[in-house]
Structure 1
């Protein structure tokens, strides 16, 4: 598994720059691939009248692997990136030789959460993304980060504000409709690493334990002083966890 390339999919509502803090140590040990997902960062949102679905995001990942001529990779992601990882597992499990799930969960949204996603999608289409950081930073970042790391808070704000309203809306609608993935994880008979920020208020430590219990070959790493964006908040600890697992 250590010889396989590592593909990491970013969280919502940011882009692949969220991996900047872990990029150097990971790339020193393995081939690291960190694409922007459709509609976010530098990745365009394809013209389509299809209902948004993470299955399309999964097909984007599979198409990227085909383009790079990679038969199998270690695939992982943070938050939404984790949801897309599970969608790839459903669509093409033979392409995945290992899994890294960070600050994500296998359960689908309850009705209230789904409704909130759809409401955000409509609002960003009307008003843009300028209001999104104030609405999300308190849950995206842990209490320690918000209190002690103003540089990280400012960086995440910048990443959110740079996103396309259309891309943010597409992602929210796609995530709102995602299925429960517990059975997908139970069938994933490959090594898996589950990472969660100790202060994650969106996908809590309990959700991480649920995924570990479902996965046949899972390791759990809880990152102190980190919330929902552990790779941004505590990059050294996350890089160490991933490298130790790969070894």
Structure 2
């Protein structure tokens, strides 16, 4: 990712590069959030004796950079956000990608990555780089990739941009469809001391597709930023990671104990006393998806409002938020109950939710087979038809 920038940057500064967990040479300890990834990077910099630093990151690396500037402002002297956004796509799209990976592995994502990352002209002229990109994804730990998708699903700093108080360069490729220029302009509009650099004829991985242009922009930005800040002559540059795919360099150290795997469903919030409704909205969106909850909220009126509040507060804010059972187990119980009662509309919804919560199609099949014995063959037969349709829709890779 940064190979073409490093020789020039190291002429002036010490440069630290890092891999995301399970990417490249980094151990496979999934991180549940962008905040956790930022904390791990800070822990690594502490070990290396780096106190203050400038930071450059591309895609998810940009998210980590924004998080650092918000939560560790005393450490970050300047920021470069490349192909970045205050919110990357939708939470539903990231969780859907996790479902596809659980079902089909990383190969479908790997094969389509060059289409998202490079312009057609560059991809056609640089087959070796295209193959590098494909292999980079294929060799990533699937659990860590899914965890990175979950981290991106929950990342949203749109309301906090004004608190980023360091000089910030925002770099956007004019042809980037992953983080379009509108996302870059949102960053510039929200961050008080931000400037925009548009790189023409470039897609998502601008440091790879236009290395010379990106290198020049970084050198000019960091030189100017540190020249204007007394006492930062010894500041360090930490180069960030790419989209949930690997980059080179030392990885952040694992936490004392490995965090709960995202696909296990254990990484769920605790119920908040006095805030059951707000907790319910949060959990309902995480399990059922933003699109469904948005439709429900749009259709809610005086007639249905009390019922929706009841469901949100007690089903989602209380039962689904309790400890004792993880979300995978709750999905199994819910599927069984819906089969037994013949609630096929809800079965559509909760088959999707089960996939989100980490159940594989094989596990869902086993649940439905089990219900044939205890709930009746006709009920299971109808459930199989519903689940088959949903699984095909949810696990078919895009493109």
TM range (shorter): 0.7 to 0.9
- Contact 1:39–1:170 (Cα < 8 Å) also in 2: no
State the secondary structure of the residue aligned to 1:241: helix
Indicate the residue corresponding to 2:61 in structure 1. Answer: 81
1:153 aligns with 2:111: no
Question: What CA RMSD, in Å, does the superposition of the two structures yield over aligned residues?
Answer: 1.8
* Distance across 2 between alignment mates of 1:90 and 1:244: 23
Q: Please, what TM-score do these two structures have when normalized by structure 1?
A: 0.83
Indicate the residue corresponding to 2:376 in structure 1. Answer: none
Structure 1 unaligned blocks of 5 or more: 1-17
Indicate the residue corresponding to 2:185 in structure 1. Answer: 209
1:55 aligns with 2:35: yes
Name which of 31, 51, 70 aligns with 1:71.
Answer: 51
* Distance across 2 between alignment mates of 1:89 and 1:184: 11
After superposition, give the CA deviation of every residue in 1:60-115 in whole Å (9 maximum; x if it has no partner). Answer: 111112111222111221001111112222321211110110001013543xxx22
* Distance across 2 between alignment mates of 1:133 and 1:191: 35
Structure 2 unaligned blocks of 5 or more: 224-399
Give how far 1:148 is off. Answer: 3.1
1:39 aligns with 2:22: yes
Q: Please list every run of at least 4 consecutive aligned residues from structure 1 whose deviation after the TM superposition is greater than 3 angstroms.
A: none
Select the structure that is richer in strand.
Answer: 1
Give how far 1:126 is off. Answer: 3.5
* Distance across 1 between alignment mates of 2:182 and 2:92: 23
1:97 aligns with 2:77: yes
Q: Which has the larger radius of gyration?
A: 2
Give how far 1:56 is off. Answer: 0.9
- Contact 2:82–2:171 (Cα < 8 Å) also in 1: yes
Give how far 1:134 is off. Answer: 2.4
Comparing 21-30 with 117-126, greater Cα deviation is found at 117-126
After superposition, give the CA deviation of every residue in 1:152-177 in whole Å (9 maximum; x if it has no partner). Answer: 22221222222111121110111111
Check 1:133–1:196 CA distance in 2 against 1; reply closer, same or farther (3 A cut): same
* Distance across 2 between alignment mates of 1:214 and 1:62: 25
Check 1:139–1:88 CA distance in 2 against 1; reply closer, same or farther (3 A cut): same
State the secondary structure of the residue aligned to 2:3: helix
* Distance across 2 between alignment mates of 1:143 and 1:104: 21
Q: Please, what TM-score do these two structures have when normalized by structure 2?
A: 0.53
Check 1:35–1:160 CA distance in 2 against 1; reply closer, same or farther (3 A cut): same
* Distance across 2 between alignment mates of 1:56 and 1:172: 14
* Distance across 2 between alignment mates of 1:194 and 1:89: 14
